[in-house]
Amino acid sequence: MNRESLPVAVAGAAGRMGRMVVQALLETPGMRISGALTLPDEPWIGQDLGVVTGRPPLGVRVTANPETAFRDAHVVIDFTTPGALDAFLPAVRATENALVSGTTGLEDAQFAALETLAGEVPVLWAPNMSLGANLLKALARQAAACLGPAFDLEILDIHHRHKRDAPSGTALALAHAASAARGEPDPDVVLRRRGVIGPRGGTGQAGVGVLRGGDVVGEHTVYFFGTGERIELTHRVADRMAFARGAVRAARWLAERTPGLYTMDQVLELDGEPDAH
């Protein structure tokens, strides 16, 4: 594959994140949009993707047929919904495309389907595609390994009022990554505290708090509470283009991989384990 002309299909191309992926692809030298998938019964089916996204024509027609959208691609970028992902995974397999997916809220059966697909094509799933969020995870691992179980681990997840899943996949990935780094690969992730609960649990506990409101794109803080001191590591997203640009970077990297299940840690050459789900 010539890195200077990588054809990419966008799933959910007319949606909020899909439009941003389109923009990121157009901004990135050496990337070419080869297909655009949308849901059935949408009004823009058959229209030019450029016109749909407020640009001059791009020569790419929006379709609800996954195999049509993916047939000329080498990588598919997906920011859709769990149901939409289920519907088009067979077409990814049939067209032998690599898949970069940032869809969250997946069930265990859907993760199993991604793992099965990864036996045939390269697959990268991440709960957060932004470069900063993945660096935060690496820093949390480093801090956890250094501080050890003497410091209590807590995570705060803040998102806009419309986010459907809670806690975020990023918050859970941070909890598992930090816990594993201090020798607790299967932490007791506490999602709710209420009433008379007594003292905080043991060293294997990781608390995750959730706030939802306004138009917050995404914010995560990892706290390490010690005796007489605490460390806070925070990442804030002000523009969803951060997710789109990270996905495009991942697509370029994944295009040259063999079948397998990959992570953003590998794209960024960070040490780490696969994201928890």
- Active-site residues, by number, are 159, 163
Distance CA 214, CA 44 (A): 29
CA dist 12 and 42 (Å) reads 11
Question: Nearest to residue 50, comparing CAs of 60, 35, 37, 63?
Answer: 60
Non-local (6+) Cβ contacts of 116 within 8 A are none
Residue 210 near residue 167, CB atoms below 8 Å:
yes
- Which of 225, 239, 48 is closest to 147 using CA atoms? 225
Q: Quick one: residue 155, left, alpha or beta (phi over 0 = left, psi -120 to 50 = alpha)?
A: beta
Which residue is associated with the tokens 């047929």? Answer: 65
Q: Is the dihedral of CA 116, 117, 120, 122 positive or negative?
A: negative
| Identity at 185, one-letter amino acid code | P
